[in-house]
Structure 1
Amino acid sequence: MVPLNYGAPRAAADLADQARHAAGTRPTAAALLAAAVAARAYALNHQSEQACQALAAADALMDRLPESERSDTWLTYGEQKHHVHLSHAYTTLGDTRLAHVSQERALELSAPTNTMTRTLLNIDAAACAHHDGDTEQACRRTVAALTALPGDYRTGLVRRRALDLYEAIPAQHHHERAVQELLDVLVA
């Protein structure tokens, strides 16, 4: 997860492949997490075919995962966690329809106090808006998500995900007001 979340998706894909091999094909939380992380890493590496295969494997494992491994702990893999991973993978792949489905389900399952997860899902939704051609809305939504957070929460993974959105915006749009507002929040 660390290389995946902090800008080293190739290393994350390698580690996820090793984890998938070690976890095997039985429906366990470890196998499911490894497949979901692999899907995200492949998507970030522009390996769409491998990402889709890992997403299919993750869904198949989720369908077979025993109830005893579906709670929300560090050692289990619940439906909310699954949809958070799917949201990021589908967003990165540009499949905004499936991304929105996972975003909505993950938000339904996330506690209102789960600030970081809800913010990441909102940034994923903003990235979908950009992908669908509404960069202004994407920037406004990301600015709103970031400014709703205390300053200490605008670092690390949240900042990285918002910065990924900014970097996906073509340079010829960087002078636009909404894009500039996003940059201002990112550098603050």
Structure 2
Amino acid sequence: MDPQELSDVKRALGRQLAGWRSTRGLTQDDVARRVHSTRSTVANVESGRQVVDRIFWAQCESLLRAGGELLGGYDEYRSLEVRHQEEKAEAARHARWGAVLDPAMIAEASLPDPAQDPARALVSPEGASGTGADLTVAIAEVDALRRSLNETLTLGSINASGLDEWDRILTHHGRATRDRSTGALLRDIAGDLTELIELIGRRPSASALRRLTGMAAQMSGLLCLVLCRIDDTTAAHRWARTARLAAIEAGDPMIQAWVLAQEAHVHYYKTDFREAVEVARHAQEIAGHRASAGTALAAAIEGRTHAATGRREETRAALGRAENFLSHLDGDALSASAFGYSEAQLRFHQENAYTRLGEVDLALAAQERALELCSPGDYTDWALTRLDRAICLTETGHATEALDSLTETIGSLDEAKRQGIIAERARLVLDTLPPVQRSSSTARDLRALLTEGR
């Protein structure tokens, strides 16, 4: 194959991107921000100097509504590139061994090594205890799965048998996010995602492939959620991008809205508030502002983000949309699950927004309702609500009561459950206490407890 042909296709693909961008009236900076890239990368792609990965092109396809032209052009380029590389490798093999080995031996030397298949990377059943080195290993292993999933999503399919069972597995993981520790969740979700990747690679029917790809999007979103909870926002953001790619390929706007809401959550905890608002609004728009767990969550996160930047009117408007979405939900959409959205979750998001704004009376009322509705096992929302309550108690002159409540809250959680955003929030509460309480032996002991496993 002529290498010039490959270069021509690359440049043509770049011109297509530039053309669609101009048609939509966007700058290179606009595109870069929306697809989580840089202006220089967009410029290099448009000039034919770079191609980058499929996630970039899937996001550009969705953003620019290019009718499949950009993604199709990328796939054509990659197909030619693979062919070119195979031809070069074959020529090199013949140059090295042609005079020594017979053709059958050369062909055998060309077979791939199954041990190098990234889809075979499994998470150790004994790993991911939730703390220290084990958790670090688990995170590294699920990131290997993320890379494998990126490469596998569009390569093939599987028959439709067992899809209902996979729905059941997915539902189980969604419910488990409410009460299971992070390490156990990482291990279990990663183990099932390994099998799902293999199923996607078995070339099923088109309808089965869409369902499986949607499940891959949701599992990726769950990993994003779990990693966000332990405050590993870098890994969480990578999984959010993978979830986006899978949701786009599944073609389900409600799944897209849900994974975008998870991504907005990551930006919120990264304190990238502008991006959090933009992604949360995109989640609501892509679903046509129809009520779903994803749109309700996205609106609530938008409200919390506005509160973090002191925008009172915008906060109330977004929380009002979340309440309106919630009022139209029923059935499984109201379940205590990562895939549902309930009044308990809304009151938690509401109280956190009011706490951020310093509107103590509204925050305390929402906290009381959130704690009344919160399931006993839902330790994350329960703990974060009580920590916000301690902040409000401090602001109303009840610092000793705030410290007692903080100590009781953290003391009731085991080490695996108090890591990540809970520990970070608890340290913030300690820092807001007046000097007398902050320097007490209770506060010192509590701070030492919060450093365990870091």
- Normalising by structure 1, what TM-score? 0.82
RCO higher in structure (CA 8 A, sep ≥6): 1
- Per-residue CA deviation, residues 77-122 of structure 1 (Å, 9 max, x unaligned), is 1112211211211221222222223222222222222222221121
- Per-residue CA deviation, residues 133-161 of structure 1 (Å, 9 max, x unaligned), is 32332223112211221122221110122
Judged with a 3 Å threshold, the aligned counterparts in structure 2 of structure 1 residues 129 and 24 are, in CA distance, closer, same or farther, namely farther
Structure 1 residue aligned with 2:301, among 26, 37, 45?
Answer: 37
Paired residues of 2:399 and 2:437 also in contact (CA < 8 A): no
- Which aligned pairs between 1:8-87 and structure 2 lie closer than 5 A? 8-10=271-273, 11-63=275-327, 65-68=328-331, 69-87=333-351
1:116 and 2:386 matched: no
Which residue identity is paired with 2:414?
A: P
Judged with a 3 Å threshold, the aligned counterparts in structure 2 of structure 1 residues 57 and 180 are, in CA distance, closer, same or farther, namely same
- Per-residue CA deviation, residues 34-86 of structure 1 (Å, 9 max, x unaligned), is 110111111122223321221122223223x1323322233221112211211
**1:157: which partner in 2?**
421
Number of equivalences: 185
Over the aligned positions, Cα root-mean-square deviation in angstroms equals: 2.5
Paired residues of 1:87 and 1:100 also in contact (CA < 8 A): yes
Which residue identity is paired with 2:329?
A: P
Structure 2 residue aligned with 1:129, among 389, 393, 398?
Answer: 393
Structure 1 unaligned blocks of 5 or more: none
- Which portions of structure 1, spanning 4 or more consecutive aligned residues, are displaced by more than 4 angstroms? 172-175, 178-182
Which residue identity is paired with 1:83?
A: R
Secondary structure at the residue paired with 1:73? coil
Give me the whole-angstrom Cα distance separating, in 1, the residues matched to 2:276 and 2:295. Answer: 15
Structure 2 unaligned blocks of 5 or more: 1-264
Judged with a 3 Å threshold, the aligned counterparts in structure 2 of structure 1 residues 134 and 179 are, in CA distance, closer, same or farther, namely farther
Which residue identity is paired with 2:324?
A: A
Q: Which moved more, 1:132-141 or 1:34-43?
A: 132-141
**1:166: which partner in 2?**
430
- Percent identity of equivalent pairs: 28
Secondary structure at the residue paired with 2:416? helix
Give me the whole-angstrom Cα distance separating, in 1, the residues matched to 2:425 and 2:416. Answer: 15
**2:358: which partner in 1?**
94
Secondary structure at the residue paired with 1:152? coil
Secondary structure at the residue paired with 1:160? helix
Shift of 1:169: 4.6
